[in-house]
Amino acid sequence: MTQTKAELTMTIKVLYFASLKELLGCGEESISAEAVKTVEDVWLLVSQGKNISQQVLYSVNQEYAEGDALVKAGDEVAFFPPVTGG
């Protein structure tokens, strides 16, 4: 089912990377913007109330954010574990 433009503007796009993608069973989804106010609210909704790890990083519209960052319709919120390299 394709979303209309009005429906897309009332939602928040949520992205998951690496182990979080596996944990939640998908790489991306859309949620109602009316259901959340902060990044932490987004996590509680999509994870069905699981506490977020202190090591998970967040971004809003491709910029690092804190858990209490406000979100609104049309935003993109991403959750990802810390990146390590070597």
Predicted pLDDT at 5: 55
What's the whole-number mean pLDDT along residues 34-51?
89
Residue pair 45/35 in contact (Cβ under 8 Å)? The answer is yes
* Residue 28: Cβ within 10 Å count: 13
Q: How far is CA 25 from the centre of its chain?
A: 14
- Residue 22 tokens, joined: 């596996």
pTM, entire model? 0.82
Q: Which domains, and CATH codes, for the chain? A: 8-79 (3.10.20.30)
Whether the pLDDT of residue 3 is over 80: the answer is no
